Structures are given as structure tokens and as C-alpha cells.
Amino acid sequence: MDNKEYLTLFIEESQEHLQAVNTHLLELEKNNGSKDIISEIFRSAHTLKGMAATMGFEDLAHLTHHMENVLDQIRNDQLTVTPAVLDVVFESVDDLEYMINDISSGGSGKKDVQGAASKLEALLAGDKAAETASASNVSPEKHSVIPEYDQYEWAVIQESEEQGYHALCLNVTLDEQTMLKAARVFMVFGVVEKAGEVINCQPAMADLEAEAFENEFTVTLITKEEPENLQAQIAGISEVTDVHVHVVKKETVQTKHEEQSITEEKNQELSPPSNKAEMPQRQTEAVKTVRVNTDRLDKLMNLFEELVIDRGRLEQLSAELKHSELTDTVEHMSRISGDLQTIILTMRMMPVENVFNRFPRMVRSLSKELGKKIELDIVGADTELDRTIIDEIGDPLVHLLRNSLDHGIETPEVRKQAGKPETGTVTLRAYHSGNHVMIEMEDDGAGINKEKVIDIALSKGIIAAEDVEKKTDQDIYGLLFASGFSTAAEVTDISGRGVGLDVVRNTFESLGGIVSVDSEPGKGSIFSIQLPLTLSILDVMLVEAGEEKYAVPISSIVETAIITKDNIFHSHGQRVIDFRGRIIPLLSLHQVFAIPGSQEERSQHSIVVINKGGKIAALMVDHLVGKQDIVLKSLGPFLPDIASISGATILGDGNVALIVDVNTLIA
Amino acid sequence: MEPEQLEHTEEAVLTKVIVFQLNEEEFAIDVRRIQSIEKVKSITRIPGSAAAIVGVMNLRGIITPVIEVRTLFQIQGREMDEHTRILVLVREEYEAGLIVDGANDVMDIDLNRMEAPPESSGHRKNEYVDGVIMVDGRLITVLDLDKLITPLIK
């Protein structure tokens, strides 16, 4: 069978399941073996195993199977959760992750899992019975497959028994030559559903419909029908080669679940309402969402961008023609496309959780490596950002986090001496702020050593000795992000991978973000990253200089103003102005971009006051044209690094305007 | 085109080319490499770009760099007029426009009759010249576009 079309789905879902396993394992460590959590992990692992086996990734299925055995024992209280046990489980999760990543990048997903598998095996309690029983689930004997029911299903089976029904398990085998397996499945279900209520089918219904199974499947139903009748009815369906029906009873299964599971099931009995309430809810949620290929979303976005350009053109035309009906229609269309824009943009939004969720694991293993006690506190994981941004910020955030763990948080001894709790806390916070999303990483560590930063910066020639005095504390801390700052001496395994924080800054800035850092000695540091909500549609101020038009992103504009000649002063040969009591540099767009034709001499000038991480400057232009929504376009491979230009856009009149990269204008 | 291939003259290999002028000279480019021929529209200057890139233009919603071939050939520039055209090249990795003095001829040329470019044609660099060919008393220089364009991609 051609698995290709399921592959993407498989990768996505297995990544989700692995993430769930990761998250729950961490919770498990905190809550010391809560049953609910183990069940969740078990469920994820089980699904993963099923999917991997279906897709033919044997190593993956094999390792998951071993992991499942360990989880099963934990679930049945045969194995206690200790950090050592979790380490082994985490290790195999890492292997699983490796394999899925390999598959996702086009590999075969093969890996020698024997090492990890035997480690898991070693964890298993000497209880061979459980081992063999679980094993028999995987390589089942024909005709006697009893699927694994979850606790909810067991509760249903038991309840129905009390009400005079019985649970029947049907193993149906289709002819190997069957062309339309899904159709046969449909017919079997037609019979089964008439007879009673289906509570479980394996593989899952979706897989059956998609024909993602070999030629056997198992259905469990609650019915009053006699097993023999049902068997005869199903055997009558063409291309069904074999049907085996048997009654599922609690006793038949207790051979594989040890005594503990009885108590467990009894517990379940006491709390079926909560389980039942959970089930329908999950189903409705499933109906509400649709998986859409991101390519399609990108296509939609591209088409919409074209529309935005045309909208600009129409608005311009209607303004020129002054035809009232046309104006009304264009205004209405603008409003509608504005709403459409919001919807499309929100469709591309993803919670930052997608990036954050791998951090708890990282903090756990790194703090062990570093011999530190560190707690990671995540706030606002549901804050949403454009998918394109989400895709990019993972690595730089990892870098920052490693930096905080390595250099920020002190060892427990040092913390104790400083009168702080032994466990350090790193808080990762995300929240909306206007048109931006802020991500903050705060630690309660030692803070940044200002003198050391100055020493390094001086020795590397990043700043001149005479400038040190003039720098504010923030300026000094900001030097951490200067290129060439990272020193070999402090490259450790954790935070140093040969790249400095300047790479982090560059990545964020290329996304239109701004990075800043503040610190208080002995109290800790905070790294703040301001990111735009979306990348492709920008709110800009169009300005004119000479014959040329440029777009300045509104997000970096403090305000626009008009200054007279008298407001311009000179300091160190540089033009400055007094802006609300602050002396700020005055740049001329004519000079920055060497615009042909000399700037007119006049008594008044329009300025745009721009801001980059708290530093401001004024940009002198000839005219302010107005505010506009524009679509950001790349300049392509011929023009990759044009100084102070971040991209281009097509204006309403069809001309191309360049977008000013404010970050590079302010040194 | 390798020299040894030039010697195979038995069979005519016809290739459709677009012929365009730069000053008084005629050049040819394989027609399969040209997406369209455009009249000059508004070109936006890119401050600080390489000298040969005059700017970018909006080509049906795609921002396309416009290249002044004369600068690459180091031949005298000329003001744009109503004959000036932009040849739009499309490759998977880029789109680009070439400014030429008019492109109005499509012809079939026999690549086997092409001769190696003259060894020393003065100051001009000719690594992007495939060869020259005489067609009806006109000397046409056949260009290798990849060698011409690729060095401009950084």
C-alpha cells in the first residue's frame, strides 16, 4: 500500500503524541505517579506504536512497545516511578524523537534501538507473566486477539454485563485479494451496528476507512445477540474469509492484567461519570477543527496579498475619480477585506506553546548536567504568533534559555550562600502588547556582571575605552549581543555551540523583532524579545524624498513631526534635534540612501521619529505621504543584503517602494 | 559549447533564439529562457546595489530586478527610448529583467555553424559569450545567460 499520503499525518500525529508523552512524563515526575497521567502516557505510547507498526516503521514500533511495557508496569504498581526509571524512559523518548525526525526529513526512520530497548527491559520487574502477556498483545495468536481496552471501555463492558448485555469481540479477516477493503469494513459494521453498540475497533475507525490496515481487524460491541448468529451473519459477507467471535469477560482479561488492575478498575467504577463526561466533549472538539495543509494556507495568504495590492489600487482610483457610488463600494470592499485579513492572519496563528513545549525537557536534562536545581515556569503559552515566526524563534530561544541556565542561574551552594532558595527559577513569559507579542525570559540568577562585560568588550575592541563612561547599564548589557562578543573561554557544552548571542539577535531582528536585556546584580536578568504579530502584512508610513518613496514600518515610529531650521543643532559634526527634552540624532533620508538630486533648502522639514529598543533618532524626509497597509515582498537573490532596506512592496499605483530597515539606521 | 562540438557540422541543429540589439551589435538568447518581453515601466532604484542592477520593477506582482547588460559588457550606456525593452528571464531560483535596445527578431540558428568567439575583442570580457554566427550577412553573438547572470547572485 502506498503510505505516502498518510506519512505527513503520521509524522504530525506522532510528534504530537511524543510531545504529550514528554509533557506528561514531566508531570509524572512532579506528581509522583498519578494514575491519570500514566494512563495518558500509556495511551499516547500505544497509539504511537500502532501508527508506527501500520506505517511499517519497525524500530519505532519496537522501542515504543518496550516503553509501553514499562509504563504498563508503572500503571499496575509493579514498578515505582523514580528519577532513574524516568531517565531511561526519557532516553528512549529521545530515540523515538530522533527516528521521527529522521522520517520527517525523508529518512527511513531506522535506528539501532537495542540499547534503549534492553535498558527498558532491565527496568521491568521480575514478573514474567506481565511481560509475556503484553508481548502476546503485539504478536497475537490468530483468532484470539483481545484488544486492549481503556478504562472507560472496561467500565462500559462491566456496566452492560450488569444490565444483561454482553460484550463480543469479533476478529474479522478479509481476503488478501480484497480490493475495496473499506467497503467490506462498511458492510461488517452495517451488521454489527444493527446488532448492538460498537465500543472499540482496532485499528481505529479512521484507519479502517482509509484502508490503513492489513486484512484483519477487531470490533468489540455490546449486544444481546448470540455470538453464533453474529458470526454467521458476518461470515456471509463476501470476501470475509474468517470471523471469530468470543465473549469478552473481565475474567478472560484478568490473566494479563495483574491483580492491581482489578482495584484499578474498581476505582474506575466509582468514577465513571467523569470519564463519560470527558468522552463526548472530546468528540465535539474533534469535529470543530480541520487539519489544513500549511501550503494551502500560504497559498491563501499569497492570493490575499494580491488582493491587498488591488485594494490599494482601487482606493487610489476612487479617491481620484470622486464618484460617490464607486467610493461607497470601494469602502465597503476595503472593510470586508480588512475583516478577511484578520481571519486569514488568525488562521496562520499558532500558540507559542509549540515552541515552548520542548523546553521543560531541556531544562530538566540540562540542570542535571550542570548540577543545578532549576525550575522552568511558563506563562502565557497560549499566546499566538504567526506560523512563520513560530518556525524561526525556536532555535534562538533555545540558545537564550541555555544561556540563562548556564550563566544565569548559580549552583545550589552559591545560591544558598547568597540567601536565595536552592532552586533557581527561569520564567518564560509570552503576552500580547498592541501589535506585538512579547516574549520574556527572566531568571533569578546572579545577574550580568557589568565589569566583566566591559572587560571583554574592551579586549575585543567592541567598544572604545572612552565610550564606557557614556554607556548606560542597558547599553553595557546589550553588548552581550554584539558580534564577536562570545569568547572561547566561556564556551561551554551548554550555551556555547560556537555561535554567540549576536546570532540570536540577528535572527530576531530579521523577523522584525527587537531584543533587549536588563539585569540586576544578585537578583537576576531579563531578556525581552518584541516580535511582530505577523510578517507579511505591514502597517507603514509612506514617505517621500526626492522622486523616491519609502515605507517606514509604523511599529518602529514613535511619532511624526515638523521641525524648523532653528530646531537643528550640531554636535560633533552630527546634526541633532531636541525631541521632548532629549537630544537625538537627525538623519536625512536623502543622505542615507544617496537619493539623486539635492535636498531642497527650506525652513521646515518633516521628520519621522524612529525607535529601536528604546534608542530614538529622527529621520528627515521631504513629505509624509500617509499610512498604508502593505504586503512585504522579498527583493530576491540578486539583492540579498541591501543596507538599511528590509524588503519591498508594491504600491497602489503599481510602483515598487522599498521598506526602510529602521534597526540598521540606529546604531 | 565545447570546441570539439563546434566541429560537428554535418547536421544542422536549429535553435530558436531572440535577437536583440545593444548599441549597434546584435545578440541572441535561446528563446526558451525568455518568459516575456516588456516595455519599460517604472523602475525603483535600489540604493547601494551592484552597478549593473538598475533597480526593481513590478512584474505582475513579482518584484523583479532589472539588469543593465551594457554595464556588464562595459559598453557605453544610452538613454532609454521607445525601443528599449526588458527581456524577462525565468529560472527556478530567480527572475530578472535585462535592458536591451529593442528585441524584435526571432530566428532559427544552426548552433553547429557557430564559431568560437574572437579571441581578443578588445576590452570586452567574453566568458559569457557562447560563440558568434553569421546569418544573412549579420553577425550575431550568442550569449550564455547563466554565465552572465549567475555571478550577480550573491
CB contact under 8 A, B53 and A306: no
Q: Please give the pLDDT value at position A288.
A: 67
| B61 contacts A633 by C-beta, under 8 angstroms | no
Of all residues in chain B, the one with the smallest CA distance to A305 is B61
List Cβ neighbours of A426 (8 Å cut-off, separation of 6 or more). A363, A374, A375, A376, A377, A401, A404, A405, A408, A409, A441, A442, A443
Sequence letter at residue A235: A
Chain-centroid distance, C-alpha A285: 20
A417 phi, psi to nearest 5 deg: -60, -35
- Identified catalytic residue from A46, A66, A407, A590: A46
DSSP codes joined into one string, A95-157:
HHHHHHHHHHTT-------HHHHHHHHHHS-S-HHHHHHHHHHHSPPTT---PPP-HHHHHHH
pLDDT in tens, B71-127: 887 777 777 788 889 999 887 778 899 998 888 788 888 888 888 877 655 545 567
* Amino acid residing at A518: D
pLDDT of residue A489: 44
Model pLDDT, residue A608: 94
The reply to whether residue B93 touches residue A637, judged by beta carbons under 8 angstroms, is yes
- What is the pLDDT, as a whole number, of residue A302? 79
Q: Give the type of residue at A625.
A: V
Residue A495: predicted pLDDT: 47
Size of interface A-B (CB pairs under 8 A): 76
Cite the beta strand spans of A2-94 per DSSP E.
none
Domain of B35 in residue numbering reads as 3-152
* pLDDT for the residue A26: 83
Catalytic site includes residue A403: yes
Residue in A595, A644, A656 nearest the CB of B63: A656
CB–CB of A648 and B53 under 8 A?
A: no
Is the pLDDT confidence value at B2 over 70?
Answer: no
Cα A196 from Cα A190, distance rounded (Å): 10
A101 belongs to the catalytic site? no
Cell readout for A648 is 519591498
The contact set of A with B (CB < 8 A) is 306, 309, 548, 592-596, 633-645, 648, 650, 654-658
Determine the Cα–Cα distance for residues A252 and A269; give it in Å rounded to an integer.
Answer: 18
Q: How far is B19 from chain A (nearest CA, A)?
A: 25
Known catalytic membership, residue A332: no
- Percent of chain B as helix, strand, coil, to the nearest 5: 15, 45, 40
Residue A161's H or E segment, with its range, is helix A151-162
* Arithmetic mean of pLDDT over chain B: 81
CA A491 to chain centre: 28
d(Cα B10, Cα B8) in Å, to the nearest integer?
6
Question: Which long-range contacts does A498-504 make (Cβ < 8 Å, 24+ apart)?
Answer: A499/A399, A501/A399, A501/A400, A501/A403, A503/A396, A503/A399, A504/A396, A504/A399, A504/A400
Let me know: does A433 contact A417? Beta carbons within 8 Å: no
Contacts for B13 with CB less than 8 Å, ≥ 6 apart:
B110, B111, B112
**Number of domains composing chain B:** 1
Check residue B15 and give its pLDDT: 86
CATH of the domain at B52: 2.40.50.180
B42 in A contact zone (CB under 8 Å): yes
Residue with cell 549579420: B138
Q: What is the pLDDT of residue A490?
A: 47
Buried b (16+ CB within 10 A) or exposed e, A45-61: bbbbbbbbbbbebebbb
Q: Alpha-carbon distance A344 to A557, whole Å? A: 26
Low-confidence ranges of chain A (pLDDT < 70): 1-5, 32-33, 125-147, 250-288, 434-435, 486-499, 535, 599-600, 613, 667
Q: Look at B95 and A594 and tell me if their CB atoms are within 8 Å.
A: no
